[in-house]
Structure 1
């Protein structure tokens, strides 16, 4: 009888332990997934911001190059006029 009671107690303890571990594992997995999703979203936002900055810088550089080119053409025409 003593062995039966001890065996049942052992089984009860093991079932509680394994259920508890599964819940914690699921909880941890959910937390990891949420963190990964958050990190992915932040990386995407940062990539979009960088892309916008690069496009803006490229546009500014192109505008400056056009301005320099126009000034150079004007100087060439002035030199030929004199």
Structure 2
């Protein structure tokens, strides 16, 4: 199972959450950033519909897969502040 970890960080005079080096919008308070990360995490854990996906790997090859709607990642939020 895939595990996704959001990290709460200081950013641009406020707070944000980060995933794999990508930052969210900036929030005025720590709590606002934490609550936004929590909302995103809850959304990602909701089951969806089974769908076909196509993706390109780092070598430029395309892959076709079926993504089951109940195959949701494990989510965590790290807050080291």
Same fold (TM over 0.5): no
TM-score, normalised with respect to structure 2: 0.26
The structure having more radius of gyration, on CA atoms, is 1
Which structure has more strand as a fraction of its residues? 2
TM-score (norm 1): 0.26
- Higher RCO structure, 1 or 2 (CA under 8 Å, sep 6+): 2
Task: Choose between structure 1 and 2: higher helix proportion.
Answer: 1
